């Protein structure tokens, strides 16, 4: 079986072209360092191409590849066509593990339809944890076929390190690139890889693979066009490739229709046979190979098979490295699957690791690598022995001539040892003092946590960066330019004002509860932004909390903060500034709450994270109208003033008519909240006429002018690197 390589050139040579990938392992999977697609000047399986021309074309393509890329010392892995090789999966009875190789040797001789001495073969044990039987895949290729293939490579100075069958390479690609295999053991993916002469059908699941090669490929479509239009093969191939833009497209597709039907029936027959012998559900069909580029073929297969059929437009675990053209790579992406699977195996990441490289070649390569290492080791050992012998004679003479020097050195060492002991004794006396000093300084370890956390909250508010369409408004507000601020209608200002921000530390965000929001009675205070009530270990007493309890502790529990943010907004559609719907990953449309949800990604590299937004015990959002008569409205909104609505020489301003329900129908003056900066009214007031009489609608309800709205957000945040509590309540 193939050894694991650090990087590999994986080559897949078909009758139409040569595809190659230079792959290596990266932190995120497999990375493409380079790639190559070389089309043969003629299709090797075309009727007018002789065997000699086929060998010359193949040699020409390999020579072009070898000239463009330095393969000296490189690990090269290749694929061989499924129809030139043999694969059989069998079940072994329950036996002792040490006897399995012996039984497989016997089964291989029975299963392989050739003399066992005339083939190169290998096997792979497929793990099935829930089955008492052992599933084994046996793979073989005739010696003369693999020798001819390897000769074509060696003639271009390309040394092949491993060989795999194309269908098994497709399985390795699917198993590695699709992580759902291990999560869905009872579902299978069907890979349909169409070449020029044949199509490989590979049905893949976590613990099994079934493959069949059907003799229908791109050439059959070409021949149907050649027969219909009385053309030679080359012209028919050109017409097939340009069919979608040809004025004869309808006639071309009509000529190919019988092949479409035959192709779909063969695939349906293969899937039906597999389904009759396996209790596995087919989830989807992956269409690969150049032949599947035919327009409408995937759609036709999907309608015929009744399962989703699609050509991949990307690989999940294969990335394109720097300096490599991603756009050019994706032009032929669906044709790299075989090379991808061969490369994954060479890098040691494949499920099936069988190798059809002749054993004598593999042993010669291993000994060649080991012989160079042994020669270097022997040379190093010889040089080291000579140097050691020379050094021994030199040291012997030096030792005899430096007796007095050794005595002086020993005396100095004794004095140094005594001085070192005295120093250690003094350092031990200083240790208690140093511990006390370090303990006091440790109180400052977390002094910047709350300020940094507040900076993060502020950065989530609307500002010139988050709300660029109103950048001038934020600049005017920052510089105190009242006229510019007022030039924008109040209801169109996308601003949030924070009147209170309370932050309290807890050792368990899952079990902690929010306290009741306290509001003072009487006159409201002038707005003060970013008022903080921090709670930190050893700095402030724990806030007494009550209210509802968490239904059950969350798995993601940890230390963190309880945060209560209160404020108001002049924007008429305040919800769009907080948590707009349907914005997805478009950061330019995120609101304040949306940014809090992504807080760990936006600020301090994930140090703080919003905890369980979907639980009412962990995240609460309240809102309402800015109204002096509201008992729920937070404190600190605006500045309370009394305004005169009607100047009258008549009755005293305190004289008010009474309506039937006892409320006053006339307002001469009233208390309102105003914006401290602009002086605009921001609270809800009744609609009155010029005499101060309230206005009512047709249903008898009072009319009101609603201006700003308030909000209150209660949220929990986990603290990734919070200190652990030690004994005695210390951190």
Q: What's the predicted TM-score (pTM) here?
A: 0.52
- Looking at the fold, whether 549 and 697 belong to one and the same domain comes out as no
Q: How far apart are CA 507 and CA 557, in angstroms?
A: 9
Is residue 133 in some structural domain?
A: yes
Domain that holds residue 33: 1-178+316-357
- Looking at the fold, whether 724 and 691 belong to one and the same domain comes out as no
- Specify the pLDDT at position 635: 92
SS3 520: coil
CATH of the domain at 340: 3.30.420.380
Best CA proximity match to 294, nearest among 259, 342, 244: 244
- Specify the pLDDT at position 424: 83
- Specify the pLDDT at position 170: 92
How large is the angle between the packed helices 249-277 and 218-229, nearest 10 degrees? 140
Q: How far apart are CA 73 and CA 6, in angstroms?
A: 12
Is residue 479 in some structural domain?
A: no
Is residue 344 in some structural domain?
A: yes
- List CB contacts of 389: < 8 A, sequence separation 6 or more: none
Phi, psi angles (nearest 5°) of residue 144: -65, -35
Q: How far apart are CA 233 and CA 196, in angstroms?
A: 13
- List CB contacts of 156: < 8 A, sequence separation 6 or more: 59, 62, 63, 65, 66
Is residue 718 in some structural domain?
A: yes
Phi, psi angles (nearest 5°) of residue 656: -130, 140
- Looking at the fold, whether 523 and 629 belong to one and the same domain comes out as yes
- Looking at the fold, whether 432 and 570 belong to one and the same domain comes out as no
> How many domains are contained in the chain?
5
pLDDT tens digits, 264-315: 999 999 999 888 888 888 888 999 988 888 888 888 898 988 889 999 988 9
- Looking at the fold, whether 282 and 321 belong to one and the same domain comes out as no
Q: Could you say which DSSP state residue 658 is in?
A: B
- Looking at the fold, whether 143 and 46 belong to one and the same domain comes out as yes
- Looking at the fold, whether 127 and 234 belong to one and the same domain comes out as no
Phi, psi angles (nearest 5°) of residue 384: -65, -40
Q: How far apart are CA 62 and CA 98, in angstroms?
A: 43
Best CA proximity match to 101, nearest among 125, 73, 70: 125
Best CA proximity match to 287, nearest among 278, 279, 304: 304
Q: How far apart are CA 587 and CA 220, in angstroms?
A: 51
- Specify the pLDDT at position 647: 80
Is residue 679 in some structural domain?
A: yes
- Specify the pLDDT at position 374: 66
- Specify the pLDDT at position 75: 94
CATH of the domain at 267: 3.30.420.40
- Specify the pLDDT at position 542: 33
Is residue 31 in some structural domain?
A: yes
- The alpha-helical segments, DSSP class H, found in 70-217 are 100-111, 143-154, 166-177
Is residue 552 in some structural domain?
A: yes
- Looking at the fold, whether 5 and 154 belong to one and the same domain comes out as yes
- Looking at the fold, whether 215 and 282 belong to one and the same domain comes out as yes
- Looking at the fold, whether 510 and 610 belong to one and the same domain comes out as yes
Torsion-angle region of residue 40: left (phi > 0), alpha (psi -120 to 50) or beta? beta
Q: How far apart are CA 63 and CA 302, in angstroms?
A: 40
CA angle, 84 then 85 then 86, to 5°: 140
- Looking at the fold, whether 503 and 648 belong to one and the same domain comes out as no
CA angle, 405 then 406 then 411, to 5°: 100
Is residue 128 in some structural domain?
A: yes
Low-confidence stretches of the chain (pLDDT beneath 70): 1-3, 129-130, 182, 362-374, 516-555, 604-606, 648-664, 725-731
- Looking at the fold, whether 171 and 196 belong to one and the same domain comes out as no
């Amino acid at each position: 079986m193939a050894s694991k390589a650090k990087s590999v050139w994986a080559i897949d040579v078909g009758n139409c072209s040569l595809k190659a990938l230079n792959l290596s392992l990266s932190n995120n999977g497999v990375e493409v360092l380079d790639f190559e697609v070389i089309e043969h000047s003629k299709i090797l399986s075309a009727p007018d191409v002789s065997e000699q021309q086929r060998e010359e074309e193949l040699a020409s393509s390999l020579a072009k590849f070898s000239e463009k890329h330095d393969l000296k010392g490189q690990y090269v892995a290749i694929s061989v066509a499924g129809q030139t090789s043999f694969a059989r999966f069998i079940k072994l009875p329950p036996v002792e593990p040490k006897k399995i190789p012996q039984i497989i040797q016997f089964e291989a001789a029975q299963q392989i339809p050739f003399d066992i001495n005339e083939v190169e073969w290998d096997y792979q044990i497929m793990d099935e944890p829930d089955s008492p039987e052992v599933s084994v895949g046996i793979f073989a290729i005739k010696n003369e076929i693999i020798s001819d293939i390897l000769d074509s490579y060696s003639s271009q100075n390309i040394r092949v390190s491993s060989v795999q069958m194309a269908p098994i390479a497709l399985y390795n690609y699917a198993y590695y690139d699709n992580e759902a295999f291990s999560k869905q053991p009872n579902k299978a993916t069907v890979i349909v890889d169409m070449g020029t002469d044949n199509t490989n059908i590979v049905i893949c699941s976590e613990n099994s693979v079934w493959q069949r090669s059907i003799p229908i490929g791109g050439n059959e479509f070409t021949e149907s066009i050649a027969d219909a239009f009385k053309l030679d093969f080359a012209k028919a191939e050109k017409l097939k490739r340009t069919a979608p833009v040809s004025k004869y497209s309808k006639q071309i597709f009509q000529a190919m229709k019988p092949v479409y039907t035959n192709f779909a029936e063969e695939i349906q027959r293969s899937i039906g046979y597999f389904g009759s012998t396996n209790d596995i559900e087919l989830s989807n069909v992956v269409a690969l190979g150049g032949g599947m580029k035919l327009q409408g073929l995937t759609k036709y297969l999907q309608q015929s098979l009744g399962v989703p059929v699609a050509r991949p437009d990307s690989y999940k675990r294969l990335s394109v490295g720097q300096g490599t053209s991603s756009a050019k790579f994706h032009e032929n992406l669906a044709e790299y699957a075989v090379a991808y699977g061969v490369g994954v195996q060479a890098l040691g990441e494949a499920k099936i690791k069988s190798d059809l490289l002749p054993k004598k070649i593999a042993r010669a390569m291993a000994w060649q690598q080991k012989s160079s290492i042994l020669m270097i080791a022997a040379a190093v050992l010889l040089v080291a022995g000579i140097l050691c012998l020379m050094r021994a004679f030199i040291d012997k003479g030096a030792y005899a001539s430096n007796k007095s020097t050794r005595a002086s050195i020993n005396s100095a060492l004794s004095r140094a040892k005594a001085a070192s002991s005295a120093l250690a004794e003094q350092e031990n006396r200083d240790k208690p003092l140093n511990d006390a000093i370090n303990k006091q300084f440790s109180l400052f370890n977390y002094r910047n946590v709350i300020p940094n956390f507040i900076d993060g909250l502020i950065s989530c508010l609307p500002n010139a960066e988050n709300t660029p369409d109103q950048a001038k408004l934020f600049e005017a507000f920052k510089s105190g330019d009242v006229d510019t601020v007022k030039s924008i209608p109040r209801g169109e200002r996308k601003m949030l004002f924070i009147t209170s921000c309370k932050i309290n530390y807890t050792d368990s965000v899952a079990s902690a509860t929010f306290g009741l929001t306290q509001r003072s009675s009487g006159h409201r205070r002038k707005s003060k932004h970013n008022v903080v009530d921090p709670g930190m270990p050893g700095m402030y007493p724990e806030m007494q909390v009550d209210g509802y309890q968490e239904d059950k502790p969350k798995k993601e529990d940890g230390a963190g903060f309880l945060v209560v943010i209160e404020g108001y907004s002049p924007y008429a559609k305040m919800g769009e500034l907080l948590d707009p719907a349907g914005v997805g990953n478009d950061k330019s449309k995120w609101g304040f709450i949306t940014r809090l949800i992504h807080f760990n990604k936006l600020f301090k590299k994930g140090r703080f994270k919003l905890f369980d937004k979907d639980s009412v015990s962990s995240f609460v959002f309240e809102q309402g109208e800015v109204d002096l008569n509201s008992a729920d409205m937070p404190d600190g909104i605006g500045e309370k003033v009394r305004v005169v609505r009607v100047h009258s020489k008549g009755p005293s301003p305190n004289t008010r008519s009474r309506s039937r329900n006892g409320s006053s129908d006339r307002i001469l003056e009233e208390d309102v909240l105003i914006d401290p900066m602009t002086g605009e009214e921001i609270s809800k007031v009744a609609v009155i006429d010029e005499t101060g009489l309230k206005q009512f609608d047709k249903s008898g309800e009072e009319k009101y002018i609603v201006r700003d709205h308030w909000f209150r957000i209660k949220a929990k945040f986990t603290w990734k690197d919070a200190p652990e509590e030690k004994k005695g309540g210390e951190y």
